[in-house]
A and B are shown apart, each in its own frame.
Chain A
Amino acid sequence: MKVDEITKIPKVLGAGLATDDGFIIESKFIVGYDPEKFSSMAAQIMKRIKKCLNIEKTSAIFYASNSVFFVKNTEEGIFFVICKKDANIGLVKINIDRKT
């Protein structure tokens, strides 16, 4: 449910929910994007943040050259979203915060 609603936002390329070790629980991506790669990346980044900053609950937004990657630690797992760089990042963030 969460994933479906997020991916309806314009220029969102995909979203997913993954376990702490990077396995996909739920995901929805546009054609050409491998959800497993992003789930593993989300798990890896979250693991690194937890380890470095010594925190359990956290969320992060990474702005890359071509896209923006959201990752958030929730009770259900690691929630992640990828969207185009020119997407409404604020809107995506609000939606993520509401849905998780």
Chain B
Amino acid sequence: MIKRGDDMSDELAMDSGALIFATLADVYLSSGMVDEAISILKDGLSRNPTYTLAKLMLGRAYYMKGDIKEAVKILEGIYDDAGGSENTNLYLGHCYKKLGEVDKAIKYYELTCKINPENKEAKQGLEVLKPKSVKVEKVKIEKSPEPVKIEEIKVEKMPEPIMVEKVKVEKAPEPVKIEEAKVEKMPEPAKIEMEKVEEPLEFEIPLEPLRKPVNRLLSIKAVKGAFICSKDGLLIENYYKDRTDIEEICAMIAAIHNEVEESFKYLNEGCVDKFTIEKEDETVCVITAGASLFTVVTQSGTNPGLVFVYARKIIDEIMGVLG
């Protein structure tokens, strides 16, 4: 902020012809009594209109009051006479800074610094304003469409090498025609590539061979659906799309299977091959297939023998795929 005490006192002291109203106005400004200072200065200037120092003080007073435009008007008005004054430049810098006219503010702060390189307010003003001006320039550079255009041009130029490749491809058949033996050999690597492409498909649909026999099983009217789960209750493949709780059923079926398996082992009756559970509304047929359980849900009253016959082929497939 502006020093209110001694800013003008030096100039007043130096001005041998200083008038008393100016000295009094400086005291008022130093005390923060801006309106009183303006009143005295206006009154004194009406009688001494050429008194530049009083005008400078009036400009400062308006600046302190917040009437920046009036301050600028007064200070610019005396600039021809008091352009070499440190305070004139300093307050013009302050005013333009407040008005957001950065370039002008910097200009006056720099002039202030030229007059008095140790003026702290001018230095602080420059420190504050100059980085901003640099940032503004950077933003302008970033926003400038030129580099974008250059990139676009590069992108547009990209297809050119592709075109060249295409041309090469079009030219390729010529040597192929010359060396017919090589052309005959060409399809072989292509077949190898096809085989390589098929490999991941096998991993994606490992139970594909089951689809046909399962569909045959599902085509039986009484069969509601089927699913394959592991013995630890995790769903492997679901062919029972109507049910949303298949994963829960898988866990339950596995729990029953494991319970019975343990009991049978305890009684030396061997392992569980298959089992059927009859409910009021449906029958659940479970067949073990290695580490998996193939479960078929049918309507109640369905002959389980029919299900087991159809399921046998599926079990063989499951054993082949899942082990």
Chain A residues within 8 Å of B, Cβ to Cβ: 37-38, 41, 44-45, 48-49, 52-53, 55, 57-67, 69, 82, 90
Query: Contacts A62-B272, A63-B273 given: A55-B280 contact, CB under 8 Å?
Result: yes
Per-residue CB contact flags for chain B residues 305-318 toward chain A (1 = under 8 Å, else 0) read 10000000000000
Query: Does B252 lie within 8 Å of A53, measured CB to CB?
Result: yes
Query: How many angstroms from the CA of A62 to the CA of B264 in the assembled complex?
Result: 10
B274 contacts the other chain (Cβ, under 8 Å)? yes
Q: Which 10 A-B pairs rank lowest in CB-CB distance, beginning with the nearest?
A: A65-B270, A52-B252, A62-B275, A41-B263, A63-B273, A64-B269, A60-B277, A48-B259, A66-B270, A63-B274
Query: Does A49 lie within 8 Å of B256, measured CB to CB?
Result: yes
Give every chain A residue within 8 A of B276 (Cβ-Cβ).
Answer: 60-61
Per-residue CB contact flags for chain B residues 243-278 toward chain A (1 = under 8 Å, else 0) read 000000000110110011001101111111111111
Known: A38-B267, A41-B264, A62-B264. 16 other contacts (CB 8 A): A37-B266, A45-B256, A48-B259, A52-B252, A53-B256, A53-B279, A58-B278, A58-B279, A60-B276, A61-B304, A62-B275, A64-B264, A64-B270, A64-B273, A66-B268, A69-B264
Chain B residues within 8 Å of A, Cβ to Cβ: 252-253, 255-256, 259-260, 263-264, 266-280, 284, 304-305
Q: Find A60's partner among B267, B271, B278, B305 (CB 8 Å cutoff).
A: B278
Residue of B256, B268, B277, B305 contacting most chain A CB atoms (<10 Å): B277
Give every chain B residue within 8 A of A38 (Cβ-Cβ).
Answer: 267
Give every chain A residue within 8 A of B255 (Cβ-Cβ).
Answer: 48, 52
Give every chain B residue within 8 A of A82 (Cβ-Cβ).
Answer: 269
Which B residue sits closest to A13, measured CB to CB? B269
Q: Find B259's partner among A45, A53, A57, A90 (CB 8 Å cutoff).
A: A45
Give every chain B residue within 8 A of A53 (Cβ-Cβ).
Answer: 252, 256, 277, 279, 284
Give every chain A residue within 8 A of B259 (Cβ-Cβ).
Answer: 44-45, 48
Which A residue sits closest to B253, measured CB to CB? A52
Give every chain B residue within 8 A of A63 (Cβ-Cβ).
Answer: 272-275
19 A-B contacts (beta carbon < 8 Å): A44-B259, A52-B255, A53-B256, A58-B278, A59-B278, A60-B276, A61-B276, A61-B304, A62-B260, A62-B275, A63-B275, A64-B264, A64-B270, A64-B273, A65-B269, A66-B270, A67-B269, A67-B270, A69-B264
Question: Nearest Cβ distance between residue B278 and chain A, in whole angstroms?
Answer: 5
Query: How many angstroms from the CA of A87 to the CA of B277 in the assembled complex?
Result: 19
Give every chain A residue within 8 A of B273 (Cβ-Cβ).
Answer: 63-65
